Structure 1
Amino acid sequence: MSYLAVIVAAIAQFFLGFLWYGPLFGKTWRSLMGVNQQSMSGGGMGKTLVWSFIGSLVTAAVLRKLATMVGTHSLGGGVALGAMVWLGFIATVTLASVLYEKRSVNLYVLNNGYQLVSLVVMGAIVAAWR
């Protein structure tokens, strides 16, 4: 396993999350969540960011292992792997929050858009890395 590929993929997901939930869709996300900028600036954000990055590292390592197990070592194969992981595990599992918890469909779409894009990017990085 290329540890550098895993680290780069985790950084890419982390940076994409910053963009997605910041300048790109931050205002929409906060509105859908019912929070404001002031309530988000409280303490504990450092701990949240550290745990988020650890989660990104785990995701990248698992994607790298899956890519190796299925013999995917190309950019296109990594994109397909990321998309399939999203469809098979993320989109379906998080759909329960809409169906059973009556969460917002718009929030589901926003969050799952991020998950799809981040998994595709991570899959491409870890599969194509030599």
Structure 2
Amino acid sequence: MEINFLALFVAALSTLVVGSVWYGPLFGKVWMKENGFSEEELKQGSMVKIFGLTFVFSLFLALMMHFLCIHQFGPLGMIGGPDFIETAKPSYAAFMTDYGDAYRTYQHGALHGFMSGLFLALPLVGINGLFERKSWKYIFVHSGYWTVVMTIMGAIVCGWV
């Protein structure tokens, strides 16, 4: 089972593409108001650092989505990883012959990505938002973004075989 690094790269880029729309024309004004940002404040800071680290963190997330969306990594982990394929019991080869490409679709990845957004991103953003005394608008703008992004990332990493 190979990791498709091009799919990971594109999935990581999707966070920037979606973010430019989500935090721009769709919810940019709400996001700025809920954070107390002005246009001038947003122009401060190193954009290279912000976007560069965003991409690096997005690569981490894309790699994790790979393991959440592609079920064939489970049996691979059960035998000890790719180094042990040659010495695995015949049942591993039989399983991979029967199910090696099962559920490797864009739709299946999108489902797992959506579930990750709903059951991982929403609680994480929600808990932080509650302790930071942020509004529900703030929580829903951010968790909505992550749910959309994780849905797209899941579709890309699972379906792009």
Do these two structures clear the TM 0.5 threshold for a shared fold by scoring above it? yes
Pick one of 10, 20, 23 that aligns with 1:21.
23
- 2:64 corresponds in structure 1 to 62
Do the aligned partners of residues 72 and 64 (structure 1) sit closer, same or farther apart at CA in structure 2, a change above 3 Å counting? farther
State, as a whole percentage, how many aligned pairs show the same letter: 31
Deviates more, 1:76-85 or 1:114-123: 76-85
Does 2:76 correspond to 1:74?
A: no
- 2:127 corresponds in structure 1 to 96
Distance 1:98 1:20 in 2: 19
* Number of residue-to-residue matches in the alignment: 130
Does 2:5 correspond to 1:3?
A: yes
Tell me if the contact between 2:19 and 2:145 (Cα under 8 Å) persists in the aligned partners: yes
Distance 2:56 2:43 in 1: 21
Which consecutive segments of 4 or more residues in structure 1 shift more than 6 A? Answer: none
Secondary structure of 1:102 counterpart:
coil
Do the aligned partners of residues 126 and 90 (structure 1) sit closer, same or farther apart at CA in structure 2, a change above 3 Å counting? same
Pick one of 97, 109, 112 that aligns with 2:143.
112
Tell me if the contact between 2:113 and 2:151 (Cα under 8 Å) persists in the aligned partners: yes
**Which one has a larger percent helix, Structure 1 or Structure 2?**
1
Could you list the per-position Cα deviations for residues 19-78 of structure 1 after superposition, in whole angstroms to 9, with x for gaps in the alignment? 111122111110111011111101322211110011111111111122223664111111
Distance 1:87 1:116 in 2: 6
Distance 2:132 2:41 in 1: 24
Distance 1:95 1:124 in 2: 24
Query: What do you get for the CA RMSD once the two structures are aligned?
Result: 1.5
TM superposition score normalised by structure 1: 0.91
Tell me if the contact between 2:69 and 2:113 (Cα under 8 Å) persists in the aligned partners: no
Larger Rg: 2
TM superposition score normalised by structure 2: 0.75
- One-letter amino acid of the counterpart of residue 143, structure 2: N
Structure 2 unaligned blocks of 5 or more:
75-101
Structure 1 unaligned blocks of 5 or more:
none
